[in-house]
Amino acid sequence: MINFTYVRTTTAKAAVGLLAKEKNAKFIAGGTNLVDLMKRGVTAPDRLIDINAVPLKQIELVGNMMHIGALATNTAVAEHELVKLHFPLLSLALQAGASQQLRNAATVGGNMMQRTRCGYFYDTTMPCNKRAPGTGCGAITGYNRMHAIFGGSEQCIAVHPSDMCIALVALDSTVVLSGPKGERKLKFIDFHKLAGTTPDKDNNLLPGEMIIRVEIPTNKLAAHSYYVKVRDRASYAFALVSVAAGLELQGNKIVDVKLAMGGVAHKPWRLLEAETFLKGKMATEANFKSAAQIAMKNAKAYKENAFKLKMAPNTLIEALNLAKSKA
């Protein structure tokens, strides 16, 4: 059998220390993705460091910042009163993800760390630059219906699978990391990366680093937030396209707006240009349509995902409509 050692730890400091000791060690919390990857032979860590007992489950307002610990479960966050009150967008996005059973086990940190669902990544007999760099991309000329239309590279067109992260990137979140050299903060938008020439790396975590918490600044978007996820079945399916939309309205005037898209890129896809266009304008169908057009700049489709070129802007309009009309 492929053996690995398993160790439990109770503090973040100890966890980071343990991670540094072994080259091929991984943290495990909910294990909802890692265990699958191990079963399928995609990954084979020598050591699993169980961090479930590390006290990082907090969900609290600290001044004007919402702090969510890396080990808070998806369900705990989605159902937390403060989250529902101040960041309904995050709650909605979480509830659109996976299934209730998975959300009960999955953690915030684990959700950020989940790997793509690209079929070529999971089948170890197929080419995949993400799993086995240099073997080629199975999807570029293969089955790419689920794949990226933004920011793809010649080496990988896989998409980031999370719903939670789409809301977090829209909400200007920050990630707090702890590593051998101490703590650092990273803007959420910079946490995940595009595939580029290193598709095997999903994010900008440095070796030995651990996710401690996510911080979300308070905002005035709660009254007009919506998460729309278009998928092949009503639950337990990954997004074809999803949109997180938050509006701050004065009358029908858009004072502030946050927009991000899922299912379209190797990372949660923030739509800053569309936001800039909408700010100060009226929340009208015409402006939503123009924003959607702007959002689609530089989109590139492959053989089987050309539908996303229509579905993505449409879903953005739908999300803006629903956010606007939400009482």
Positions in the binding site for another protein (CB under 8 A): 1-2, 41, 99, 117, 119-120, 122-123, 125-126, 138, 141-143, 145, 228, 230-238, 240-241, 307, 310-311, 314-315, 317-318, 321
DSSP states along 2-52: ---EEEE-SSHHHHHHHHHH-TTEEEESS-TTHHHHHHTTS---SEEEE-T
- Going 234 to 161 to 290 to 276, the CA torsion angle's sign is positive
Least CB distance to another protein at residue 307 (A) = 4
User: What order do you get walking across the sheet with 210-217 strand by strand?
Assistant: 59-62, 65-69, 210-217, 174-179, 182-187
Amino acid symbol at 319:
A
Least CB distance to another protein at residue 169 (A) = 21
For strand 25-28 and strand 47-50, is the pairing parallel, antiparallel, or unpaired? parallel
DSSP code, position 199 = T
Least CB distance to another protein at residue 267 (A) = 21
Query: Based on CB atoms, which residue is closest to another protein, 215 or 304?
Result: 304
Query: Based on CB atoms, which residue is closest to another protein, 231 or 326?
Result: 231
Least CB distance to another protein at residue 152 (A) = 18
Query: Based on CB atoms, which residue is closest to another protein, 91 or 173?
Result: 91
Least CB distance to another protein at residue 147 (A) = 12
Query: Based on CB atoms, which residue is closest to another protein, 188 or 226?
Result: 226
Query: Based on CB atoms, which residue is closest to another protein, 52 or 287?
Result: 287
Query: Based on CB atoms, which residue is closest to another protein, 11 or 124?
Result: 124
Least CB distance to another protein at residue 286 (A) = 15
H-type helices in the chain, by residue range? 12-21, 34-39, 74-78, 81-86, 88-95, 100-105, 108-113, 119-122, 164-170, 272-278, 285-295, 308-325
